[in-house]
Amino acid sequence: MRAIAALQMASGPQVQANLMEAGRLIAEAKTAGAGLVVLPEMFVIMGQNDQARVQVTEEYGSGPIQDCMVRLARQHKLWILAGTIPLHSDDPHRPYAASLLYDDQGQVVARYDKIHLFDVTVGENAEVYTESDTNMPGAQLVVADTPFGKIGMSVCYDLRFPELYRELARQGAEILVIPSAFTEVTGQAHWEILLRARAIENLAYVIAPAQGGYHVSGRTTYGHSMVIDYWGRIRGQLNKGSGVVLIEPDLEAQAATRQRFPVLSHRRLLM
């Protein structure tokens, strides 16, 4: 099975309940033919405040959240990209927002720590977000070799930095994964536009699972998880709530298009 599924959730404050919902969606995706499933950012907890996430931080390689991902990968014999899991850094108050890619044997084959942190004021109601208060930024780009293609890893706010994706494409990425928790305001304004732009600019597939619904903190996330092909065409999307959307990348057609339309090799403004 070569299909990839984006899983949409509306996570709450209870880790165990969120893991159960993730397990349900993973089983649904497997039944639908997925070989790789991608969970949204903060799939494991959307609490009353950002400190709730810090309180469930795990050491890399051990803990109930990671143990659950290993078990689900082995049980369903599929690959899982766990949107973000809080993993310890040198600062106990600022874990990494780590995206872990598990193979179908439950082994971690890639880890990406979210680089760009969401420190902004949003909308007329002046919603303030300061992710850097409770997150340590990562520093390394990651492209992972998988049976589904070369996957360039990123998370949410990274989406606004096209140079990151151009470098992932330069390193061979064919598929860009962007687990997210976009706000309602920014989602309505920019989500689809940015996702399709990243696909078009890099002639890459985009897999963008999202949080979609109302959360106990009072925050509403936009949802609209999407799978987009290398020509910028939306091949599937959701609205709000939980769900699954799939795509089966055609890497041969993508490679042929990149050869006929070699925008990636035409770049002249080199850093």
Token match 């680089």: residue?
115
What are residue 88's phi and psi, to 5 degrees?
A: -55, 140
**pLDDT tens digits, one per residue of 242-264:** 999 999 999 999 999 999 999 99
Give the whole-number percent of the chain exceeding pLDDT 70: 99
Angle at 78 between CA 18 and CA 34, to 5 degrees: 85
Which two tokens mark 195? 């996702």
Token match 């051990």: residue?
62
What are residue 31's phi and psi, to 5 degrees?
A: -60, -35
- Distances in Å between the Cα of 194 and the Cα atoms of 158, 190, 226 are 11, 6, 12
Strands 127-130 and 119-122: antiparallel
- 41 as an active site residue: the answer is yes
Strand partners of residue 227: 207, 236
Residue 77 CB contacts under 8 Å (≥ 6 apart), including other chains:
104
**pLDDT tens digits, one per residue of 26-72:** 999 999 999 999 999 999 999 888 889 999 999 999 999 999 999 99
- 156 as an active site residue: the answer is yes
Q: Which fold has domain 3-265?
A: Nitrilase/N-carbamoyl-D-aminoacid amidohydrolase (3.60.110)
Largest CA distance in the chain: 50
H or E element, residue 31: helix 15-31
Three-class SS state of 180: strand
Strand order, beta sheet including 96-102 = 108-113, 96-102, 79-87, 34-38, 3-8, 243-247
- 114 as an active site residue: the answer is yes
H or E element, residue 83: strand 79-87
Rounded Cα gap, residues 240 and 260, in angstroms: 38
pLDDT at 22: 98
The residue annotated as part of the active site, out of 21, 41, 174, 184, is 41
Q: Would you say 37 and 247 are in contact if contact means Cβ atoms under 8 Å apart?
A: no
* Residue closest to 165 by CA, chosen among 191, 204, 137: 204
On the question of pLDDT at 270 being above 70, the answer is no
Rounded Cα gap, residues 139 and 154, in angstroms: 12
**pLDDT tens digits, one per residue of 101-150:** 999 999 999 999 999 999 998 877 777 889 999 999 999 999 999 999 99
Rounded Cα gap, residues 6 and 25, in angstroms: 10
Q: Would you say 93 and 54 are in contact if contact means Cβ atoms under 8 Å apart?
A: yes
Burial-class residue 201 by CB neighbours within 10 Å (0-12, 13-18, 19+). Answer: middle
Q: Where are the domains of the chain?
A: 3-265
Rounded Cα gap, residues 266 and 268, in angstroms: 6
Average pLDDT of 200-229?
95
Token match 């039944």: residue?
31
As a whole number of Å, the CA-based R_g of the chain is 17
The residue annotated as part of the active site, out of 68, 114, 131, 240, is 114
The residue annotated as part of the active site, out of 21, 30, 58, 156, is 156
Average pLDDT of 85-92?
96
* DSSP structure class, residue 190: I
